[in-house]
């Protein structure tokens, strides 16, 4: 494959990633709603530890576990922000 073929493949993968990240965000939104209704905290370090263990377990590279964790730390930060927004009092997100 030449560089344009690889770029087309990356573009296709990016479309798939966007769909999956948005699907994950919808799940985080719903979890935020449930946490709000149950007065649960947004930050759950044990759950985050499980996420990081899960991704390390299935990681086949070429990203190292450290690199993949860095990507996921940012992803989890964004998902936590979605939950904060869900739990904010009415009108505070405007």
Looking at the predicted structure, is the pLDDT value of residue 26 above 50?
yes
Query: Percent of the chain, pLDDT > 70?
Result: 94
Residue 19 makes CB contacts below 8 A (sequence gap 6+) with: none
pTM: 0.84
Q: What is the dihedral of CA 81, 86, 87, 91, to 10 degrees?
A: 110
What pLDDT score does 87 carry? 75
What pLDDT score does 90 carry? 64
Which tokens sit at 54? 């899960």
**Sequence ranges of the domains in the chain:** 3-87
Q: Within a 10 A sphere around the Cβ of 32, how many other Cβ atoms?
A: 22
Asked if CATH classification 1.20.59.10 holds for the domain at 3-87, the reply, yes or no, is: yes
């Amino acid at each position: 494959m030449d560089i344009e073929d690889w770029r087309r493949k990356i573009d296709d993968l990016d479309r798939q990633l966007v769909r999956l990240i948005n699907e994950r965000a919808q799940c985080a939104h719903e979890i935020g709603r449930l946490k709000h209704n149950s007065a649960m905290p947004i930050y759950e370090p044990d759950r985050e530890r499980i996420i990081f263990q899960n991704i390390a377990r299935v990681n086949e590279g070429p990203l190292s576990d450290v690199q993949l964790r860095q990507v996921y730390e940012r992803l989890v930060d964004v998902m936590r922000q979605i939950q904060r927004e869900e739990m904010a009092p009415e009108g505070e997100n405007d």
